Amino acid sequence: MSFQELEQQKLHQKDQEQRQKLLLQQQQQRQQRQQQEDFIERTDLLNSALQLITRAQNIQDEPMLTVEALQAYVMDLKLKEKAQQAASPRVQLVHRVLKQRPGSNMEKQMYMYLDQPMWLEGETSRRDALAGNLPLQSTSSYTSKHPEVCCLIYRDYDITYLNRMEVEGEDYDLPTKPNHTAETVELVTASLAAAVTKFMKYYSFNTEDDNTVESVELSGLHICIYHARGNALIPFLETLEDEQHDQFQVLLNFFMSQYEDEYNLVDHMTRRGIITQEYIKYLFKPGDIIVKGHDQDARGYLSMSWLKNEDRKDRPNQSSSQTKTKTTFSGKAWNWELDSVFSRGVGALTIQFDAKDYSEKKISDMNIRPLLYVKEPTKTRLETRGQWFWKCRMRRMVCYDDTRKSQHYSSDERYMVDMMIYHELHKPNSSIRRQYIDHIDSEALKQENPPDKNFIYLSPLTVKAYNLKRKKWVDLNLDGLREISWNTQAFESLVLKEKTKRLIRALVSNQIEAEKSTDLISGKGNGLIMLLHGGPGTGKTLTAESVAEIAKRPLYPVTCGDIGTKPEEVEKYLESVLYLGKTWGCVVLLDEADVFLEQRSLEDLHRNALVSVFLRVLEYYDGILILTSNRVGTFDEAFKSRIQLAVHYNSLTTHQRTKIWGNFIRRLKDFNEDGIDFIDLEDNIEQLASREMNGREIRNAITTARQYVRWERQQAQNFKLDYKVMKGVIETAGEFDDYINTLNGGFTQEQLAKEDGIR
């Protein structure tokens, strides 16, 4: 290359360099101008933003508000917020997701979040993926960093339960944000724990299961607040200290805001007397009277706890398609029991629903419901039963009308209620310990009325009572107890001489009034012993029954079959009978006592022992004892000095039989029984009395005739019990007596007994 070409090349290269330098300068200038324009625009925007912040936050106007000044202001706000948080208590929601641990049927894993967990989309099975965005590792660590948190509200989401709801509910649409399956409250601060403790005590919401509220998670606190909300809270809040008041108010505000709609819905339903499974827990609270059952089976309890959802499934041996899922709610309750002392009988009350049944239920028709919703007839029944239960605290003779029409009880039978004696005779095993014993003090027992207004609703269904005829303790329904109507007119109807009746009445009256005997030996017989002797059916037993009526005392009938024949057994049994007779003030009737009254002899040592035992027992008896016998011809002489009055009953005369027939016909009229021609019977009383019959035979004839007519009237309604029918019954029954008389050579039983010297 020539020199000239080299020079040209250098000039061209230099020209290129200058051109590039110029382009670079122009580019830099453009960038600088753009930066200046951008800065001006940003400055204008920043100034506008600062002015807006100034006006919004009420910051004092300054000539030049810089970014540094704004940063200082924000820092000051943060400090103030932190101080405010430290001073103002708050409630923190904690959401807990419970998931079945792999390989375990019972154990569950728990994940905690500060935000509402949601079902995650895009998973193989979204039902297994429930999570929040703000996980929480430890609540204790969180509360230590946030001292303003006075309370943690745990909301649990049981994935197993939610899955079951979807599988078992055909129309159940699983929401993105599921509802929590349980809610509990943890009281973080001592002040709030103290406030809640006062709250529970103030409204009597404490239960037997409660421990200290500082150390446990409380479930159902929103239900407690439901029952105490409104103006009723004002006097309670005034009892709290300042810090307790502030923290409790925060908790109260939380529940009122979270449950306001639910509270209003429950109010609306209960005003209409209905409830659903979902809100059944609102219906019961501790201290409420709860009634279980209806009509005669209705029984009152005092609630001791809040209802708990047992979430039980009844799965018998059947296919899954036949399985019926039940939702079960249960709670503790107690009512009174009487076993010589009043004590609390504690039990569990359960309410079951079909898990898919969310329909409205009429509260008064539910098997378990509060007293407020019980129908008036049932409430009246409970009150009457409770009043009788209170009467039974003391020894009491009662009349019983079996309201359940059991075959084991006769109408208007009489019983002795005496729990002290029952307890003495049936002492429980010392190893058995009754829980929740709650004695009513002796002063309260002396009062005419029960110790509190709830008592009458909390009585049991039955009470122990002694049947004096059957000699056994039985359970009587309290609903069937009645006051005794003493038949004092029965004594006047006795077919006895008037002077004999007056003498008996005088002796009985004096015995009742007597306090001390004139016997010089202390403890020796202060009683009244009478002997009624005569043939069968002459009125001996009726006299004893009538004596009990005019004395207004229970009749304790005993026969030789009850006593036995072994001397040691006889003595033990007689002592027990006479002990009860004395304790209860009975008229003791020893019917057909011939075996004990018979004269002793050298040949029969066994009989002698029986008579001696009987004599010894009688020697120290203090009550009224009536002996009946139809064999006084063999009477032992030792009894004469021990018997205060002996009354002989001759065979009935025609006049006496006429009186007896008249008494029975008048009693039939009192029954208001259809199908009896009373006029015809009364017109023919003399013809009826002409037949030789004793009182028992007359009664049997009337009973047989009534049964016969009752059967005939099923075929013909116009059939009646008249003289002709009665005569036919008497003749039919008398054929046997006529045959016996023929065998005895025409002699009656009365004539034979007199001839043998035994009557």
Range 454-480 average pLDDT: 93
285 vs 428 pLDDT, higher one: 285
Q: How far apart are CA 10 and CA 759, in angstroms?
A: 177
What are the tens digits of pLDDT across the range 512-522? 777 444 444 44
The beta strands (E) that lie in 501-659 are given as 528-534, 555-559, 587-591, 624-629, 645-649
DSSP state of 428: P
Confidence of residue 64 (pLDDT cuts 50, 70, 90): low
Mapped to the 3 state alphabet, what secondary structure does 25-88 carry?
HHHHHHHHHHHHHHHHHHHHHHHHHHHHHHHHHCCCCCCCCCHHHHHHHHHHHHHHHHHHHHHC
Most confident among 4-8, 360-364, 567-571, 710-714 (mean pLDDT): 360-364
> φ and ψ at 482, to 5 degrees?
-140, 155
Query: For position 321, what pLDDT does the model report?
Result: 42
Length of the chain: 759
Q: Please name the amino acid found at residue 723.
A: Y
Structure tokens of 192? Answer: 């709030």
Confidence of residue 600 (pLDDT cuts 50, 70, 90): low
Q: What share of the chain is helix, strand, coil (3-state, %, to 5)?
A: 50, 20, 35
Range 393-416 average pLDDT: 78
Confidence of residue 572 (pLDDT cuts 50, 70, 90): confident
Q: How far apart are CA 167 and CA 484, in angstroms?
A: 64
Q: How far apart are CA 721 and CA 712, in angstroms?
A: 10
What are the tens digits of pLDDT across the range 640-659? 778 889 898 888 889 989 99
600 alpha-carbon distance from chain centroid: 59
- pLDDT beyond 70 at 504: yes
Confidence of residue 525 (pLDDT cuts 50, 70, 90): low
- Which uninterrupted H or E stretch holds 94? strand 90-100
Dihedral sign of CA atoms 91, 92, 98, 101 in order: negative
| Cβ atoms of residues 300 and 347 within 8 Å | no
Range 143-168 average pLDDT: 80
Q: Please name the amino acid found at residue 627.
A: L
User: Which of 187, 209, 201 lies closest to 240 in space, CA to CA?
Assistant: 201
| Alpha helices, DSSP H, located in 88-185 | 139-145, 159-168
Q: Indicate the burial class of 499 (C-beta count within 10 angstroms; 0-12, 13-18, 19 or more).
A: exposed
Range 476-501 average pLDDT: 90
Dihedral sign of CA atoms 228, 234, 240, 244 in order: positive
Query: For position 514, what pLDDT does the model report?
Result: 72
CB contact burial 14-41 (16+ within 10 A = b; e otherwise):
eeeeeeeeeeeeeeeeeeeeeeeeeeee
- pLDDT beyond 90 at 187: yes
The residues, any chain, with a CB within 8 Å of residue 40's CB and separated by 6 or more, are none
DSSP state of 648: E
Q: Indicate the burial class of 103 (C-beta count within 10 angstroms; 0-12, 13-18, 19 or more).
A: exposed
DSSP state of 680: H
DSSP bridge partners of 118: 131
Structure tokens of 286? Answer: 């501790």
Q: CB neighbours (10 Å) of residue 714?
A: 8
Structure tokens of 428? Answer: 């429980």
SS3 125: coil
Q: Please name the amino acid found at residue 63.
A: P
Query: HSE (CB half, 13 Å, CA atoms) of 383?
Result: 9
Homologous superfamily of 489-649 in CATH?
P-loop containing nucleotide triphosphate hydrolases (3.40.50.300)
Share of the chain above pLDDT 90, in %: 35
Query: What is the chain's Cα-based Rg?
Result: 48
Range 543-561 average pLDDT: 90
CB contact burial 680-709 (16+ within 10 A = b; e otherwise):
ebeebbeebbebbbbbebbbbbbeebbebb
User: Which of 643, 687, 674, 685 lies closest to 528 in space, CA to CA?
Assistant: 643
Given the structure tokens 């629903």, which residue do they identify?
Answer: 353
Q: CB neighbours (10 Å) of residue 375?
A: 15
Given the structure tokens 């059957």, which residue do they identify?
Answer: 470
Structure tokens of 369? Answer: 């419901």
> φ and ψ at 321, to 5 degrees?
-70, -25
- pLDDT beyond 70 at 25: yes
Structure tokens of 112? Answer: 């905690």
Q: CB neighbours (10 Å) of residue 210?
A: 14
| Cβ atoms of residues 656 and 692 within 8 Å | no
Query: For position 35, what pLDDT does the model report?
Result: 72
Q: CB neighbours (10 Å) of residue 570?
A: 20
Residue 552 backbone zone (phi > 0: left; psi -120 to 50: alpha; other: beta):
left
Q: How far apart are CA 640 and CA 618, in angstroms?
A: 12
| Cβ atoms of residues 751 and 723 within 8 Å | no
**Average pLDDT score, the chain:** 80
Confidence of residue 612 (pLDDT cuts 50, 70, 90): confident
Q: How far apart are CA 535 and CA 645, in angstroms?
A: 18
Query: For position 375, what pLDDT does the model report?
Result: 94
Distances (CA, A) of 694 to 534, 539, 545, 562, 700: 11, 9, 17, 26, 10
User: Which of 377, 381, 298 lies closest to 335 in space, CA to CA?
Assistant: 298
Q: How far apart are CA 742 and CA 726, in angstroms?
A: 24
Most confident among 336-345, 406-415, 468-477, 609-618 (mean pLDDT): 468-477
Confidence of residue 122 (pLDDT cuts 50, 70, 90): low
Q: How far apart are CA 720 and CA 668, in angstroms?
A: 14
Q: How far apart are CA 625 and CA 581, in angstroms?
A: 9
DSSP state of 671: T
> φ and ψ at 713, to 5 degrees?
-70, -15
Range 716-736 average pLDDT: 88
What are the tens digits of pLDDT across the range 407-465? 555 566 899 999 889 888 877 654 444 554 556 777 888 888 888 899 999 999 999 99
Provide the greatest CA pair distance for the chain.
Answer: 193
Structure tokens of 261? Answer: 């709609």
Q: At what angle do helices 498-513 and 540-551 cross, to 10 degrees?
A: 40
Q: How far apart are CA 474 and CA 293, in angstroms?
A: 23
Q: How far apart are CA 216 and CA 452, in angstroms?
A: 33
Note the pTM of the prediction, 2 decimals.
0.74
The DSSP secondary structure of 455-473, one letter per residue, reads GGGS--SEEEEEETTTTEE
Rounded to 5°, angle at Cα 414 from 413 and 418:
140
> Out of 152-156, 228-232, 305-309, 516-520, which region has the weakest mean confidence (pLDDT)?
516-520
Q: CB neighbours (10 Å) of residue 80?
A: 10
Query: For position 212, what pLDDT does the model report?
Result: 47
Rounded to 5°, angle at Cα 609 from 605 and 614:
150
User: Which of 517, 547, 553 lies closest to 532 in space, CA to CA?
Assistant: 547
| Cβ atoms of residues 439 and 343 within 8 Å | yes
What are the tens digits of pLDDT across the range 665-701? 988 888 888 889 999 999 999 999 998 888 888 999 9
What are the tens digits of pLDDT across the range 314-371? 433 334 444 457 888 999 999 998 877 888 888 889 998 887 888 999 999 999 999 9
